[in-house]
Chains A and B, each alone.
Chain A
Amino acid sequence: MSATLPVARPAVGETGELPVLRERGPREVFCGLTGIVWLHRKIQDAFFLVVGSRTCAHLLQSAAGVMIFAEPRFATAILQDRDLAGMADCNDELDRLVRRLLERRPDVKLLFLVGSCPSEVIKLDLSKAAERLSVAHAGRVRVLAYSASGIETTFTQGEDACLRALVPELPGLGADERSLLVAGALPEIVEDQLARLFAGLGIAPVNFLPPRRAGALPPVGPGTRVLLAQPFLNETARALEARGAELVEAPYPFGAEGTHAWLGAAARAWGVADERLETVTAAPRERARRAVARARARLEGRRISFLPDSQLEIPLARFLAEECGMQLVEVGVPHLDRRLMAHELPRLPESVRLSEGQHVDRQLDRLRADRPDLTVCGLGLANPLEAEGLRTKWSIELVFSPVHGFEQAGDLAELFARPLERFERLAV
């Protein structure tokens, strides 16, 4: 196998930019539907109805089943042979299922019809269906549509598509008002911590997208400054810009330095003095550094590779290189978004091998040749790689656990240190 190993150096890219190895082929990634697993917990009165196949339903329960198994606020309308015969029938069927669903769940205020691979391929118009159902259930529930199909979205792009669908619903911000809008689903505890920091900086009002309840949609307008908490919200950012909002470009709030820079960008956009930023952030930043230092002992000098998965790879790699002293071997992303990564890419060391897209078998060949100390990868690959003697960190945990901000910086570093520590502890 190693005899035919392709040369692993990426082609030199445009001047001043890191070269990128671009690949196509079989991928080992989730589709955007997976985002429903955390979005339905986040927006507490929303329901997600996937219009798709048994595969979609099975994906959702397999991705979710590893972690939760409560009565979910999501379901799948499974297309069957007879639905594929005629479109009118499909819409009637959908109306019937939505009626049944709303009877069963009177607590639901916002219903998302979520497009899938099959619904996209048969060109079932879910936006139109959402309009029709919104009228039919007016005053009771708002119905929106977005596509999280695997042919269009990779993993976290599902959240982007969902938030993008919310943007036209946001109320307008008064002409002479301003606001800060933090976009990206965050655990509530993290939102509360960040809200306290913004309050300390004198930035107000601060709203979060998605909101915790469908009735609390944040306003948007020309006075809105958008700060992305997650690095995968390209479409949402564009839609907010189309409503007059201005994007505050920044690194992402991972680690002591990432969080400081992120808050700093917001502070500058708001006209907050540097001294105030330093005063407000000094204590938590120091606390974060101390917390990271504990894990750093285990991470420093260790080599790490990221397989493409959540789009969090570049900011996390930056954090691990800058604040934990790790050596980046390969950092793979599903797709390289230069705009959203503008403040992250320059902070990566030049020696990194940046790859975009995936040919999973070739990537595994490179990984086996590299043999990094730690590989960040999806659930389908982790155990097989462990069995080959490679230490791994499941990437999905990085999307599900609180990792943003100063107070989580230590936990974030710890997530990477734990597999290494475990390996050292075990004597079997």
Chain B
Amino acid sequence: MELTLWTYEGPPHVGAMRVATSVEGVHYALHAPQGDTYADLLFTMIERRKQRPSVTFTTFQARDLGGDTAELAKATIRDVVERFEPRVLLVGESCTAELIQDVPGALAEGMGLPVPVVALDLPAYSKKENWGAAETFLRLVRTLLSPLAPAPGEERPPRPEGRRPRANLLGPSSLGFRCRDDVVEVRRLLESIGVEVGVVAPEGATPEDLLRIPEADVNVCLYPEVAHSTCAWLRRTFRQPTVETVPIGVGATRDFLHEVARLTGVEVGDAASPERARLPWYSRSVDSTYLTGKRVFVFGDATHAMAAARVATEELGFRVVGLGTYSREFAREVRACAERLGVEALVTDDYLEVEAQVAELRPELVLGTQMERHVAKRLGIPCAVISAPVHVQDFPARHSPQMGFEGANVLFDTWIHPLTMGLEEHLLAMFREDFEFHDEAPASHLAAEAGAAAAGAPAPAAAPDAVPEPAVAWEGDAERELKKIPFFVRGKARRNTERFAEERGVRTITLETLYDAKAHFGR
């Protein structure tokens, strides 16, 4: 057993639901008890889908267990085919159904249904959501494309005369992180080098579209968590090369263009530095100097975490002090990436472990999932969300990609805005003894109202940086000096100094200790 407060991923059948819902004309008959329908709200509430997800639950109850749950599964499958007339039927089971061993996929295959059946076997007690999505996508593609596979050793036919190079975009799915906008950006990128987009799947594809996958020259593995195994199968079976670079950040976007160009025989030319790529100049402009060496902690799915680490170090000049992922399937890649950055990767799906590491590292910025956003909020650290698991806020109304040059612009804005701005930081330091300019002072234009409110308010709460029962004592001078440090870093200075003192067995913190600690922790 594993103790879990929050989970980064749902069970594997939720991954299957994401694929079923993404592909039009596919329906998923899911052998599951009542209550498993909660997953519908992820699609309708978090993603604000206008249609119910394409899934029907058999809804067995305790009283069915003594009887024939297999019969119930068959009846539901028949109903689904009749009512929804899917062009492909996915059949599977959730965790509880796995225990009662009705094997609905095999049942459906034996029913002589008038539609192709994809039987899904997604082990609920060892696998998770992204694996389930990847496996479902692979099974779906294999079922449809296996009959079209060329004989072993057969050469791939050349691209028809006069047709532009074509790339499929594989991996965007329902409930994926910013997929909608990424697809728009990647399409724009490819068109900028004269490559047309073939099939985008699973999101927005039809089964008929999937049949056209082999026509493209390359497959872009846009979200490896969902599409990696499918791309590998297509490479083996149809000898379609895979574009492996995920174009998040300016550098990766350029690498991506060059990789596509190499595989399709086109030129990148000016497309690698378009006018709309603002991140390079914004990052070089003097205001960004204050970003230098900011300590960031990165956690997310493997793709977004590794991409964020690269952007953070190479394009914003941050220092990555921690890098981790919950995607165990890509642990090797993340470990290698962390090693290059001189840190040890945190590969875990235990949210408490991530929280502990953030608390220990005390980064100046957290780039994480919705989980880390809450961790950061509790610890008072600025945070930007870079990866699923998602919340309703991660489906913004505006265009907000992560990929391509526009995506890099978005990253610049969303990661920088939570931070105190450069000049602001200096002003705070310069005027730290100004009577209007301290942690308890309201904004000057609100002083009148705030004063009135404060008058009627109960005794003020302790200052935010007050720590109950410090393990070490502060000498008066040192305490007064601490107060001169800008309030937004004072808490950290206090904690660092106390930690420094404790580690050295210093009982009383003097001015000397304070500056010794500053020198020790300073970068």
Query: Do B125 and A30 touch across chains, with their CB atoms under 8 A apart?
Result: no
B94 CB-CB contact with A under 8 Å: yes
Query: Do A381 and B52 touch across chains, with their CB atoms under 8 A apart?
Result: yes
Contact of B35 among A78, A96, A101, A117 (CB under 8 A): A117
- Note all chain A residues with C-beta closer than 8 A to B43: 380
Instruction: Quote the shortest CB–CB distance from B8 to chain A (angstroms).
Output: 10
Q: For the complex, give the distance between the alpha carbons of A145 and B42 in Å.
A: 29
A341 CB-CB contact with B under 8 Å: no
Query: How would residues 183 to 212 of chain A score, 1 for a CB under 8 Å from any chain B CB and 0 otherwise?
Result: 000000000000000000000000000000
Mark the stretch among A61-69, A136-144, A284-292 that contacts chain B.
Answer: A61-69
Mark the stretch among A20-28, A248-256, A345-353 that contacts chain B.
Answer: A20-28
Q: For the complex, give the distance between the alpha carbons of A78 and B126 in Å.
A: 10
CB-CB nearest in chain B for A76: B4
Mark the stretch among A49-57, A258-266, A410-418 that contacts chain B.
Answer: A49-57
B34 CB-CB contact with A under 8 Å: yes
Query: Do A30 and B38 touch across chains, with their CB atoms under 8 A apart?
Result: yes
Contact of A80 among B2, B10, B62, B83 (CB under 8 A): B2
A166 CB-CB contact with B under 8 Å: no
- Note all chain A residues with C-beta closer than 8 A to B125: 53, 79-81, 83-84
A312 CB-CB contact with B under 8 Å: no
Query: Do B11 and A53 touch across chains, with their CB atoms under 8 A apart?
Result: yes
- Note all chain A residues with C-beta closer than 8 A to B123: 81
- Note all chain A residues with C-beta closer than 8 A to B64: 151
CB-CB nearest in chain B for A116: B96
Query: Do A380 and B1 touch across chains, with their CB atoms under 8 A apart?
Result: no
A59 CB-CB contact with B under 8 Å: yes
Q: For the complex, give the distance between the alpha carbons of A28 and B53 in Å.
A: 12
- Note all chain B residues with C-beta closer than 8 A to A150: 33-36, 96
Q: For the complex, give the distance between the alpha carbons of A154 and B35 in Å.
A: 7
Tally of A-B residue pairs with Cβ under 8 A? Answer: 186
Query: Do B49 and A61 touch across chains, with their CB atoms under 8 A apart?
Result: no
Q: For the complex, give the distance between the alpha carbons of A378 and B37 in Å.
A: 10
B138 CB-CB contact with A under 8 Å: no
B3 CB-CB contact with A under 8 Å: yes
Query: Do A90 and B1 touch across chains, with their CB atoms under 8 A apart?
Result: yes
B40 CB-CB contact with A under 8 Å: yes
Q: With A55-B94, A61-B6, A151-B65 known to touch, is A26 a contact of B58 (CB < 8 Å)?
A: yes
Range, interface on chain B: 35 or more
Query: Do A151 and B38 touch across chains, with their CB atoms under 8 A apart?
Result: no
CB-CB nearest in chain B for A365: B83
Query: Do A121 and B96 touch across chains, with their CB atoms under 8 A apart?
Result: yes
Contact of A383 among B10, B48, B59, B96 (CB under 8 A): B48
Query: Do B1 and A94 touch across chains, with their CB atoms under 8 A apart?
Result: yes
Query: Do A81 and B126 touch across chains, with their CB atoms under 8 A apart?
Result: yes
Contact of A26 among B11, B51, B76 (CB under 8 A): B76
CB-CB nearest in chain B for A24: B59
Q: For the complex, give the distance between the alpha carbons of A34 and B123 in Å.
A: 24
Q: For the complex, give the distance between the alpha carbons of A160 and B337 in Å.
A: 51
Instruction: Quote the shortest CB–CB distance from A228 to chain B (angstroms).
Output: 24
CB-CB nearest in chain A for B84: A361
Q: For the complex, give the distance between the alpha carbons of A77 and B11 in Å.
A: 14
A408 CB-CB contact with B under 8 Å: no
Q: For the complex, give the distance between the alpha carbons of A93 and B2 in Å.
A: 9
B124 CB-CB contact with A under 8 Å: yes
Query: Do B41 and A78 touch across chains, with their CB atoms under 8 A apart?
Result: no
A171 CB-CB contact with B under 8 Å: no
Q: For the complex, give the distance between the alpha carbons of A94 and B2 in Å.
A: 9
Instruction: Quote the shortest CB–CB distance from A89 to chain B (angstroms).
Output: 9
Q: For the complex, give the distance between the alpha carbons of A63 and B45 in Å.
A: 11
- Note all chain A residues with C-beta closer than 8 A to B42: 62
Query: Do A101 and B124 touch across chains, with their CB atoms under 8 A apart?
Result: no
- Note all chain A residues with C-beta closer than 8 A to B2: 77-78, 80
Q: For the complex, give the distance between the alpha carbons of A25 and B10 in Å.
A: 25
Query: Do B33 and A149 touch across chains, with their CB atoms under 8 A apart?
Result: yes
Q: For the complex, give the distance between the alpha carbons of A236 and B76 in Å.
A: 34
Instruction: Quote the shortest CB–CB distance from B412 to chain A (angstroms).
Output: 27
Q: With A118-B95, A118-B96, A380-B37 known to touch, is A152 a contact of B4 (CB < 8 Å)?
A: no
Closest 8 CB pairs of A and B: A31-B35, A150-B35, A380-B40, A387-B50, A117-B96, A53-B95, A379-B41, A58-B10
Q: Which residues of A contact B (CB under 8 A)?
A: 25-34, 51, 53-55, 57-59, 61-63, 65-66, 69, 71-72, 74-81, 83-84, 90, 93-94, 96-97, 100-101, 117-118, 120-122, 149-152, 154, 361, 378-384, 387
Sample (26) of A-B pairs whose CB atoms are under 8 Å apart: A27-B57, A33-B35, A34-B38, A51-B1, A54-B9, A55-B10, A55-B124, A57-B4, A61-B6, A63-B41, A66-B392, A72-B5, A76-B4, A77-B1, A84-B99, A94-B1, A117-B35, A118-B95, A118-B96, A149-B35, A149-B62, A361-B79, A379-B44, A381-B52, A382-B45, A387-B51
20 further A-B contacts with Cβ under 8 Å, apart from A26-B59, A54-B10, A379-B45, are A25-B76, A30-B38, A31-B34, A55-B124, A58-B14, A63-B38, A66-B45, A66-B46, A74-B5, A75-B5, A80-B126, A96-B1, A97-B3, A117-B96, A118-B95, A149-B62, A150-B34, A151-B34, A154-B35, A380-B43
